Structure 1
Amino acid sequence: MADESLLFGRFNSALASIGASFTIYYAVRVLLFLVKSFKMFGLRLGANPKKYGSWSVVTGATDGIGKAYAEQLAAKGLNVVLMSRTESKLDAVASEIASKYNVQTKVIAVDFTSGSEIYENIGKQLDGLEIGVLVNNVGMSYPYPLYFHELEDPEKLIQGMINVNCLAATMMTYLIVPSMLSRKKGLIINIASAAGSLPTPLLTVYSSTKSYLDFFSRALNVEYSSKGLIVQSVMPYFVVSKLSKIRRSSFTVPTATSYVKSALATVGNETRTFGCFVHNLQGAVVSFVPEVISDYVQLSMHQGLRKYALKKKQQKSQ
């Protein structure tokens, strides 16, 4: 009996030691997270994008995060090439930026849902510009969460999403990297998504394409970091924009302007970032949650959004 009590006591002692070790480990992780977040988003010690060249290129530049990057880069003294589908919207944003920030602007109207045939003309229009910063922001998502077999006009939607979310960033990078390498400096910012950091059910194709963009960025950064280039993957959660269909900011949903100000503060310090403190916090919390729980929560949330969207769609058709 005494031997059993002694063994039980040692077992409890071992469990207590393990528990204390885990507590210390996670406490240290939380402390390091807070210190790093304060340094990143509180002090805002990001590199000056202007040091990479006199011109920047921003895709998807007429709304949301893309427009905010174009404005913030212009505020730092860079000339801006704005690229998006609608020329009238591009002209309006370009005129606004040129007037407000006293920089040069250039617009290139292009439909990124098209295939590889569009990039020869884009290359010609960019030729001769000292492009120091490329922001691959243009993106395309589902109209609302759907099961994969429910996608309407799937050939058009799937092909368009792959062309916009994967091909555009890949080809734009391919066009611009050689001139950056010749000057041994350049900054490429790829706007991926938190939806690409883990599988996202009912947004399967969107999540997968954003995961590609994240891996593309990380691999390129390893390839070219020794050659003076920075390739950054930015993974926002929800931000006020047309893509998210959210029009009001909240604690967890910043405006595009405030988000981009925070994200630019990470340049030169983080090559993979959630972009702002609250999104960084969300990412940290998700990293602690077992994937089976995360899958369940996301599936339940997106099933609810799907049900609501289908109900609204039915009401409109009546």
Structure 2
Amino acid sequence: MSALRFFGISAIGLLITMAAVDQFSLLYREISRSCSFYIEALAIVGAWYTVRKCVSLAFDTYSALRLHVIPKLSGEIDLVKKYGKWAVVTGSTDGIGKAYAEELAKHGVNIILVSRNKEKLEAVSRSISETYQVETDFIVADFSKGRELYPAIKEALKDKEIGILVNNVGIFYAYTDYFTNLSEETLWDLIHVNIASATMMTHIVLPGMVKKKKGAIVNLSSAVCCQPTPMLTVYGASKSYLDYFSRALHYEYASKGIFVQSLMPFVTTTKMVAFSSTVSKRSIFFPTAEEYASHAVSTLGLSIRTTGYWKHAIQLTLGWLAISIANSSRELTVPSEMEYRTQLPHPE
């Protein structure tokens, strides 16, 4: 009797087990059938994301080639025909300003140099004229003096056909410091030289460009304009002004034949960064003013907002990538894509 009872219990257990297995198999099939839709949906989303990234990469690659490579291979553009006979370059006795003026002279553009040191102006003017066989002129102007010097500049330029204006003049901090430690004189110099000069020079030259329906204005901003720069607060803010001013002005006057460009270079080996023994030395990362100007001029008419140099463009991209990686590791704060694109590492 006990044996029959044992086999009976075993048979019942086997039936229960088989039923459980059958239920699990059924449950698994139902779950698989339900999940297949989500898996397919995720596969579609993944494919769409991959396609978007590939298209974006292809577009960015083409844009980089179009801006930094093709102009160098396709030959020189006739800047005189495209914009006009004369170019005005401020802050043109040293650094990027001087190199940019020389690069324009290579293209046959006559140059008007504007700076505060008469002896340097005479020397650079004579050198450019003799080297590149173009006409040159110069205007002595200390932009830190404020509004009093602009009537004389306007009078000196009234009979010139200005095709290109390069607002390059600018001053930097003697060393990084807190805003409250800066003297009032330093603050006014930064405002007058970095902000007011570009504004007023543009106001003087632009009406003539509009009248002949062609012209180009280049404003030397900086990569620091793309993020807040503690300890360089006013300098960074002044460069942000130039960047905004350039873009807004281009939208206002593009339909009238005027091209306005914001140049945002990273570090170049000029006197402005002489305070640092590291960045003032020429290296693969820090081009000379001449190297930078050669590439920057080739972007004229192609991009309204650019670093101006392919090495600097790579630094910009790496900066975005570094910020993206840094922010992705934070659990509580995930910046938007726009925030990624404006929080660049400090280039100077």
Alpha-carbon deviation of 1:251? 2.2
Gaps in structure 2 of 5+ consecutive residues: 1-26, 328-339
Alignment partner, residue 249 of structure 1: 282
Alpha-carbon deviation of 1:117? 1.3
In 2, Cα distance between the equivalents of 1:132 and 1:181? 10
Give 3-state SS (helix, strand or coil) of 2:272's partner: coil
Q: State the TM-score, normalizing by the size of structure 1.
A: 0.85
Q: How does 1:7-26 map to 2 (within 5 A)?
A: 17-26=44-53
Alpha-carbon deviation of 1:6? 6.2
Length, aligned pairs only: 299
Alignment partner, residue 267 of structure 1: 300
Q: How does 1:203-222 map to 2 (within 5 A)?
A: 203-222=232-251
Q: Conserved in 2, the CA contact under 8 Å of 1:145 and 1:202?
A: yes
In 2, Cα distance between the equivalents of 1:106 and 1:225? 29
In 1, Cα distance between the equivalents of 2:51 and 2:41? 15
In 1, Cα distance between the equivalents of 2:206 and 2:139? 19
Alignment partner, residue 210 of structure 2: 181
Give 3-state SS (helix, strand or coil) of 2:267's partner: coil
In 2, Cα distance between the equivalents of 1:262 and 1:272? 14
Alignment partner, residue 3 of structure 2: none
In 1, Cα distance between the equivalents of 2:209 and 2:164? 9
In 1, Cα distance between the equivalents of 2:273 and 2:56? 31
In 1, Cα distance between the equivalents of 2:325 and 2:236? 15
The change in CA–CA distance for 1:296 and 1:171 in structure 2 (over 3 A counts) is: closer
Of 96, 99, 104 in structure 2, the residue corresponding to residue 73 of structure 1 is: 104
Q: State the TM-score, normalizing by the size of structure 2.
A: 0.78
Higher Cα Rg, which structure: 2
Of 179, 199, 202 in structure 2, the residue corresponding to residue 148 of structure 1 is: 179
Q: How does 1:186-205 map to 2 (within 5 A)?
A: 186-205=215-234
Alpha-carbon deviation of 1:229? 0.9
Alignment partner, residue 6 of structure 2: none
Q: Which amino acid aligns with 1:196?
A: C
Identity of aligned residues (%): 41
Task: Please give the per-residue CA displacement for 1:135-155, whole angstroms capped at 9, x wherever unaligned.
Answer: 00001121232232333x2x1
Q: How does 1:282-301 map to 2 (within 5 A)?
A: 282-288=315-321, 289-290=323-324, 293=327, 298=345
C-alpha RMSD over aligned residues: 2.5
Q: For structure 1, which segment, 244-253 or 70-79, has the greater mean C-alpha deviation from structure 2 after superposition?
A: 244-253
Q: Conserved in 2, the CA contact under 8 Å of 1:235 and 1:274?
A: yes
Alpha-carbon deviation of 1:264? 1.3
Alpha-carbon deviation of 1:166? 0.9
Alignment partner, residue 63 of structure 1: 94
Alpha-carbon deviation of 1:12? 6.1
Structure ranking higher on relative contact order (CA contacts 8 Å, 6+ apart)? 1
Gaps in structure 1 of 5+ consecutive residues: 303-318
Q: How does 1:230-241 map to 2 (within 5 A)?
A: 230-241=259-270
Alpha-carbon deviation of 1:15? 5.1
